[in-house]
A and B are shown apart, each in its own frame.
Chain A
Amino acid sequence: MPDDLDYVRKLKEAVRNFDEDGVKMITEEAVRAGVDSSRLIDEALVPGVREVGERFERGEVFLPHMVMASDAVDAAVKIIEPHLPKGKEVKKGRIVMGTVEGDLHDLGKNVVIMMLKANGFEVFDLGRDVSAETFVQKAKDVGAQIIGASSLMSTTRPYQREIIQEVERQGLKGKVKVIVGGGPVNLEWAKAIGADGYGRDASEAVREVRRLLGIED
C-alpha cells in the first residue's frame, strides 16, 4: 500500500515527464487514498512544473514539454480543487496577457506565459492584436491583478500606454497593475508610460510579477 510520500514522489515524477495521463491517474488515486490535497500541490505539482521551467531555461527541454507539463498540472488541479480546504488558493495570482493592438508577434509573450504558469500563476492568454479595452475588460471579468502587454514593433509600442490609460479611465489604477515587455520596450519606456513593471525577458517578467504581487522567493 503506497504511503503519502509515494504518491507525492510519483506525481512529481509524472509532471517532470510531461505525462498528463499519468498525472491524472496518480492524482485521482491519491485523492481517493485521502492524501492531503495541499501536499499534492505544494510538494508535487508546483515543484515538478517549476523544475520543468528551470530545465527549459537551461535549454534541456522545449516549449512543447512546457505546454505538456503545464496542461498536466492544470488537469491535476481540476481533480484536486473540490477537495481543497476552504480558502486555500491553488494559484498565486491571476494575469491577463496579450500582444498589443496592431501587432501579430507572439513568440515572447508565449514564452512568458509558459514561465508564469510554471511558477504557479494563472494566466489568461488573449492572443495577438488585442485592444486596450479588451485587455482591461478581461482583467475585470476574471479578477486579474496584473495585465501583461507585449509589443514587438516600435509602431505598436504606444498601445501599451493606452492600456495603462484605460486602466486609469476605468478607475482600476493600483488594483490592476500593468507590466510591459517586448523587443522595442525598455525600462525607460516603461517608466515614461507609467507601467508598474517591465520584464526584459521571461525570467525577469516572472520576477516582476512576484514583486508586484508581494510574493517572496
Chain B
Amino acid sequence: MINLLEVAERIRTGQKMDTKSYDMGLFRKTQELTKKYNLNQPGKPEFWEVDNAYADAVFQAGVDFLTEWGAYCVTTERVIKFTEDEVRRAAREIPSQIVVGEGSDTRTIKKREIEDTQNRPNIVVAGHSAWSDEVPVPIHIAVREMVSDERVDVIQGYMYAETDKYEISGPTHWAYAARRAVERVRNGCTQAGRPGLCVVQYPTLTRAFALVAAMDPYRGLRPTDGTMFSIQPDLHVDADYVAASYVYEEYGLAYKENQGGGSNFIADIYGGMIISIASRLAAWMCYRDNVQGGGGAAEPRGAQRDWGGVAPASELVAERAKKYDAMWLNFAVYKALHRNTGLITKANIWGCHEMAVEQLSDEFLLMQAISAMRETLWGNHFHFAGSANPPTVIRWPIDVSDAVMRSKLKLSDYQELSSRITREKLQGWQDLSRVKDQRMKAYESPKQLLDTQLNVYDFFKQKISEKYLENEKKVRSYLKDLGLDFRA
C-alpha cells in the first residue's frame, strides 16, 4: 500500500491549487460522477434492498473521485492524487480486525457483517468534547462511571481550555494539555479497575508536535491506545496529521479513528455518497485510520436535514426526508464500503448527551432502542458521543443489542419494529431529537454541563434514579411483548 512518506511527497509536489478552485472542482466532479454512474435513482421501498450493482457503482465513483480529482492538502495547497491501483490495493488492505488495550482490558475489534447476530458490537464511549474544571463532576469520576461496565472497550478523551489553572495557549501549554488530557482519562479508567483500557486521544491542537505530545508508553498514549485523526470536510487533508500518522505508525498505535467525511461543496446527497466513500479511503491512505464512521450519504450543507444519522426511526426519517430516500442512500454507502473493504465501522447511538435534553423518559429509551437495533443489524459498532454519559445511557442500548442478537432479527424486522414503535409510542415526540449540541455548555455554562445526566444518575454515589428504573422496566416489558428476547 502507498506508504506515508509517499503521501508526504505528493503533499509537497502535487498540483498547486487554491482551496476555492479545489472545492468547486470537487462539486463539479461529484456531479459528473453522479451522472456517469447513474446514482440519482429513486430509492426502493425498503432501504435494505440496495442491490450489489448500485453499491458497487457508489464505491467505484468514490475511487474515481480520488484518481481523477484527488484529495487536497490544506497545508501546502496541493492536490494529492492516487492511481486506481493504489486506491484498490489500499481498500483491500484495510484491516478487518484490530487488537486494542492491555491485560484484562485487551479487546479484539472486528468488522461486523450486515445482519450479524454472531459478533456483538464493540462499545466506544467518547468525550469528544471540551471539559472544564468547573463541571460539577470531576473528569476522573465521570470517566470512572462511563467505563465501569466491562462491555465498554474504548474511551475517547477530552480537551481543556484550561488545565491546572494554566490557560492553554502556545506550544508548551498545548503539549502539556495534550499529555494531561490523556493522563486524566487514564486515571478515571484506573479508578474503575480498568488500567489497560484503550484510551483514544481527542486532539488538543492540529499541529504535529501537539498530536504526538502524549505518545508515551508510561504516562501517556501506549501503542495499545489510539487517536482520532479525522479528515476535514471536502477531503481536506492536513500535512501535520500525515506527519503525526507516520510517527504513530512506527510507534504501532493500535486504533486510529476518522469521524469526518462530509462535504460543504456538494449540492446533492448523491455527491455526498461519493465524498463519503472517498473520504474514508483517503483517511485510511493518508492517516491510517482503521476505525471509521459507518458511511452515510452526507446531505449538502444547509439542506433541510433528514437526521438519518440521529433519528433512528425510519418513519421519522421518511417524514423528514421529503427530498431524498435518505435511509436507502445511507445504506447504499454502508453497503458499498462493506462489500469493497474490510473497514471496521461504528455509528453514533442516538440519545447521547451531544443531542439529548433528557435521558430518562420512555420515549428516550425507545428511541435509543431503535437506534441500537438499527446499528446492530447494519453491522456497526457502537459509538456513544460526549460529553459524558451516565452508565444507563450506555448499558441500555447494549441490552437491546444483545436482545436483537438473541432474537436473530433481520433488517426487515427492524423496519417493522421501528415503524410500530414510532406509530404507537413516539408520535409528537420526535422533535426533541433536534436540539442544540449540548457539549457547547462546556463553554457557555460548565456548571450546567451535566444537568441532563445528573437527573438520571448520581456519579458520586453510583445510584440510578428511581424514575429511570421504573421507565426502563416499562419499556423493557413493552419491547419484550414485541418479541425482543431480553434476559433477566
A186 CB contacts on chain B under 8 angstroms:
440, 443-444
Quick check: is A3 within 8 A (CB to CB) of the other chain?
no
Contact yes or no, A63 B264, CB < 8 A: yes
A107 CB contacts on chain B under 8 angstroms:
232-233, 264, 301
B302 CB contacts on chain A under 8 angstroms:
56-57, 59, 61-63
Per a CB cutoff under 8 Å, which of A64, A154, A157 touches B267?
A64
Contact yes or no, B161 A155, CB < 8 A: yes
Per a CB cutoff under 8 Å, which of A59, A65, A68, A154 touches B304?
A59
A127 CB contacts on chain B under 8 angstroms:
19
Quick check: is B14 within 8 A (CB to CB) of the other chain?
no
For chain B, the count of residues having a C-beta within 8 Å of the partner chain is 35
Contact yes or no, A155 B444, CB < 8 A: no
Per a CB cutoff under 8 Å, which of A61, A102, A184 touches B161?
A184
Contact yes or no, A158 B440, CB < 8 A: no
Q: In the complex, which of the residues A61, A65, A104 has the most CB atoms of chain B within 10 Å of its own CB atom?
A: A104
**Once the chains are docked, how many angstroms separate the CA of A157 from the CA of B204?**
12
Contact yes or no, B264 A155, CB < 8 A: no
Contact yes or no, B267 A155, CB < 8 A: no
Of B166-174, B187-195, B450-458, the one contacting chain A is B166-174
Contact yes or no, A104 B265, CB < 8 A: no
Quick check: is A111 within 8 A (CB to CB) of the other chain?
yes
Given A102-B205, A155-B177, A186-B443, A63:B169 Cβ within 8 A: no
Quick check: is A128 within 8 A (CB to CB) of the other chain?
yes
A158 CB contacts on chain B under 8 angstroms:
167-169
Per a CB cutoff under 8 Å, which of A63, A111, A155 touches B168?
A155
Nearest neighbor of B20 in chain A, beta-carbon distance: A67
Contact yes or no, B207 A154, CB < 8 A: no
* CB-CB contacts below 8 Å: A76-131 with B: 102-107, 110-111, 127-128
Q: On chain A, which size bracket covers the interface? A: 20 to 34
Quick check: is A156 within 8 A (CB to CB) of the other chain?
yes
Quick check: is B160 within 8 A (CB to CB) of the other chain?
yes
Quick check: is B336 within 8 A (CB to CB) of the other chain?
no
Quick check: is B327 within 8 A (CB to CB) of the other chain?
no
Contact yes or no, A111 B301, CB < 8 A: yes
A113 to chain B, nearest CB (A): 10
Report B111-130 CB contacts with A as 1/0, cut-off 8 Å. Answer: 00000000000000000001
Contact yes or no, B204 A155, CB < 8 A: yes
Quick check: is B74 within 8 A (CB to CB) of the other chain?
yes
A159 CB contacts on chain B under 8 angstroms:
169
Report A44-60 CB contacts with B as 1/0, cut-off 8 Å. Answer: 00000000000011010
Contact yes or no, A59 B19, CB < 8 A: no
Per a CB cutoff under 8 Å, which of A63, A65, A154, A189 touches B160?
A154
Nearest neighbor of B171 in chain A, beta-carbon distance: A102
B265 CB contacts on chain A under 8 angstroms:
62-64
Quick check: is A31 within 8 A (CB to CB) of the other chain?
no
Contact yes or no, A102 B206, CB < 8 A: yes
B301 CB contacts on chain A under 8 angstroms:
62-63, 107, 111
Closest 6 CB pairs of A and B: A154-B161, A158-B169, A64-B27, A62-B300, A62-B267, A104-B206
